């Protein structure tokens, strides 16, 4: 009787990649890995989709333009205008770029032959979160002025005088320090968890298929992995949506402080 011993891969085995190229720029060393190439490929894909759809826009959209325009309208009406207000329309390009870039990078986790979400590497969510942090703080300072912007953050109206010092610290910490951390960690953690679960289940499928327990034993892990891929598809969309809508909320707060 054959004994089946299956060891789940370590986190390093699922997320670490050997450099494909190593670039030396002065004293700086850059490792070009599979996720790096995948990120650039997805970025080019997203740019190509929008250029292809709107290169020769028709008054009555159809076909590919209609699909891309429907996605853009969803961001414009469902996020930009509904969260920011009438002036939210001007933020549609930024919000649409963020949404579709995250969405397509997340989708790489369920593409056969790739099976790796770029956003499960912390550097990418952090970079995007820092960019959002810079944007909404710059917008707030530009619209309100430096001192008034931070006054509105730290001292919301209607707060008792004795509580104001404590609340000022809490509001400053939560708005200026915590926001980019939570924004990036939420996206990163969800994609890491999904990738680990699917990776283990598909590896278990291969192990059971090649074992002496009978070919049919692979059905259980494979069926579970397939079902979880549907859940992962929902998570993929929701993480792109949540990141984008939170970006809109932060921009709206910078544009429309509470009085």
**21-45 confidence digits (pLDDT tens):** 887 777 777 778 888 999 999 999 9
Of the pLDDT bands very low, low, confident and very high (cuts 50, 70, 90), residue 217 is low
Asked whether residue 209 carries a pLDDT value surpassing 90, the answer given is: no
User: b/e string for 107-123 if b means 16 or more Cβ within 10 A?
Assistant: bbbbeeeeebbbbbbee
Q: What is the mean pLDDT of residues 116-132?
A: 92
- Burial profile 156-191: b = 16 or more Cβ within 10 angstroms, e = fewer: eeeeeeeeeeeebeebeeebeeebbeebbebbbebb
Question: Any alpha helices (H) in the chain, and if so which ranges?
Answer: 11-15, 34-54, 63-75, 92-107, 123-144, 146-154, 164-172, 179-209, 219-255
**What is the domain count for the chain?**
1
What is the mean predicted confidence (pLDDT) over 132-155? 91
Q: What is the DSSP letter of 26?
A: T
- Cα distance between residue 183 and residue 236, in whole Å: 15
Q: Which of 248, 240, 130 is nearest to 187 (CA)?
A: 240
Residue 99's pLDDT band (cuts 50, 70, 90): very high
With respect to residue 4, please indicate whether it lies within any of the assigned structural domains. no
Specify the length of the chain in residues.
259
pLDDT the model gives residue 174? 85
The lowest-confidence range among 26-35, 107-116, 141-150, 249-258 is 26-35
Containing structural domain, residue 209: 11-255
Note the pLDDT of residue 75.
95
Residue 70 clears pLDDT 70, i.e. is over it: yes
pLDDT of the residue at 46 = 94
Please check whether residue 3 lies inside any domain of the structure: no
Residue showing tokens 């929902």: 234
169 domain residue, yes or no: yes
Residue 5 reports pLDDT greater than 70: no
User: Which pLDDT does position 21 carry in this prediction?
Assistant: 82
Least confident of 56-60, 78-82, 158-162: 56-60
Count Cβ atoms within 10 A of the Cβ of residue 204 and give its class: 0-12 exposed, 13-18 middle, 19 or more buried.
buried
Domain contains 119: yes
Q: Are strands 21-25 and 28-32 parallel, antiparallel or unpaired?
A: antiparallel
Rounded CA separation 204/8 (Å): 8
| Structural domain contains residue 6 | no
**CA separation for the pair 196, 225 (Å, rounded):** 11
Average pLDDT over residues 43-54: 90
What's the mean per-residue pLDDT of the chain?
84
Residue 64 lies in a domain: yes
Give the pLDDT confidence score for residue 59 in this predicted structure: 65
In a domain, 149, yes or no: yes
Q: Is the confidence at residue 216, as pLDDT, over 70?
A: no
Residue 167 within any structural domain of the chain: yes
| High-pLDDT (> 70) share of the chain, % | 84
């Amino acid at each position: 009787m054959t004994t089946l011993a299956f060891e789940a891969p370590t986190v390093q085995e699922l997320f670490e990649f050997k450099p494909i190229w190593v670039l030396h720029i002065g004293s700086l060393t850059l490792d070009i890995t599979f996720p790096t190439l995948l990120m650039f490929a997805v970025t080019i894909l997203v740019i190509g989709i929008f250029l292809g759809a709107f290169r020769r826009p028709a008054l009555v959209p159809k076909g590919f333009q209609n699909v891309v325009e429907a996605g853009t309208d969803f961001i414009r009406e469902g996020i930009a205008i509904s969260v920011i207000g009438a002036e939210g329309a001007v933020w549609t390009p930024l919000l649409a770029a963020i949404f579709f870039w995250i969405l397509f990078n997340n989708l790489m986790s369920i593409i056969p032959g790739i099976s790796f979400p770029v956003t499960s590497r912390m550097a990418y969510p952090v970079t995007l979160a820092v960019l959002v942090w810079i944007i909404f703080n710059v917008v707030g300072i530009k619209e309100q002025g430096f001192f008034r912007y931070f006054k509105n953050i730290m001292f919301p109206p209607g707060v008792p005088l004795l509580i104001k010092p404590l609340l000022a610290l809490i509001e400053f910490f939560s708005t200026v320090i915590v926001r980019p951390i939570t924004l990036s960690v939420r996206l990163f953690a969800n994609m890491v968890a999904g990738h680990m679960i699917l990776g283990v289940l598909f590896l278990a499928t291969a192990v059971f298929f090649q074992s002496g327990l009978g070919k049919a034993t692979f059905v259980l892990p494979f069926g579970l992995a397939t079902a979880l891929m549907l859940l992962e598809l929902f998570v993929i969309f929701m993480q792109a949506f949540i990141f984008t809508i939170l970006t809109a909320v932060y921009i709206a707060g910078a544009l429309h402080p509470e009085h």
